[in-house]
Chains A and B, each alone.
Chain A
């Protein structure tokens, strides 16, 4: 996804072209939903919050200028909305554990070929371990490992210094590594 193409679409959307806005959504809906899912661990909540991300994006269209990367800005909105949602859930006594949908990674192996089933199980174990980390640690891991963003972009999204990104990533990885080793996992 080229940055220039993103901003060309933003420019058209700013002029009221809903088709251009739909194209932006089509480019980014998957990464935004995936990010929200890793933060909230509920497919339904992830979908709802991702919709809200794009509604919020549309509201701010007129104020957008290509000073930052479009994806960085979009993940910044996603981060804010996810943290708000987590805070609201806590306030209403609904912990993240209660929002866990059936984990897509942990599927019945009945009709799935053995190799694919093993991969799914592997993903499920990693995802379960990741779910035990704090929201900030899940976020930094997702942005680095899944989105492949560099420390500079992550620091912009998380509103912190590059040094903080570095130390959070190191701590998150170490926690995850320890967790898998303590579980006697053979993944590492």
Chain B
């Protein structure tokens, strides 16, 4: 293909996001190959924009509101652990290991003693840790839409998070006993075992970052 062709810029051109649209327009008038490709992309765009999605169930909103009310009646996640003492115990033990690692790392890496103190306080607050973990279990998979903002904020504290590898290593050394496992629902078990096995560094990173965010 000739270097004169503008095929690599046509996508941005049809979106109005091209740097030199006049140049492209002039080229299209004199180049049949690019003009044909331009027409094909326009047709493709028209077809895509006409795609229809499935209609929502008529009671979609009611279903969501019912789930919200059910959650409200069930109370905060900490109640889950009150109903499952063995789970609470197991997780408390898990997080005491992690907390020690995180606090140590935070002390090493925090630029100010105030930051270190805040981190210590957050991670040593068992209730906050358990609540966050309860959210993880409730959701099956934990994702915080605000996490990436923290991570990407150059001025923020995201850069100072302890390494995920360290967290994973700490968790991987912890084993659940049979009593604790007996308290788990299947879905909960999968989420927790994945976490403990260190198979999901992203999830762990998000959990850790969420805590950081709460500081």
**Chain A residues within 8 Å of B, Cβ to Cβ:** 18, 21-22, 25-26, 29-30, 33-35, 37-38, 43, 46-47, 50-52, 54-56, 58, 60, 63, 73, 76-77, 80-81, 84, 87-88, 91, 104-105, 122-123, 126-127, 130, 141, 144-146, 148, 150-151, 159, 166, 169-170, 173-174, 176-177, 180-181, 187-188
Contact = CB atoms under 8 A, between A and B. Distances in A.
B143 interface: yes
Interface of B is mostly: helix
A25 B152 CA distance: 29
Contact of B53 (A25, A34, A60, A177): A34
Nearest to B135: A59
B43 A50 contact: no
A84 B143 contact: yes
Interface string B42-69: 0111011111111111001101110110
Interface of A, helix, strand, loop or mixed by DSSP: helix
Contacts of A173: 11, 41, 44-45
Given A84-B143, A88-B141, A187-B44, 18 more contacts: A21-B65, A22-B65, A25-B60, A29-B56, A30-B56, A34-B52, A38-B51, A47-B56, A51-B60, A55-B67, A76-B145, A123-B51, A145-B51, A150-B17, A151-B15, A169-B11, A181-B40, A187-B47
B51 A77 contact: no
Interface of B: 8, 10-12, 15, 17, 40-41, 43-45, 47-57, 60-61, 63-65, 67-68, 71, 139-141, 143, 145-146, 148, 152, 194
A177 B56 contact: no
Nearest to B43: A188
Given A26-B61, A151-B17, A127 B51 contact: yes
A150 B45 CA distance: 14
B194 to A, nearest CB: 8
B64 to A, nearest CB: 5
A147 to B, nearest CB: 10
Given A30-B53, A80-B143, A84-B143, A25 B47 contact: no
A55 B140 CA distance: 13
B54 A146 contact: no
Contact of B56 (A50, A105, A169): A50
B145 A73 contact: yes
A145 B64 CA distance: 28
Most A Cβ at <10 Å: residue of B48, B52, B56, B139: B48
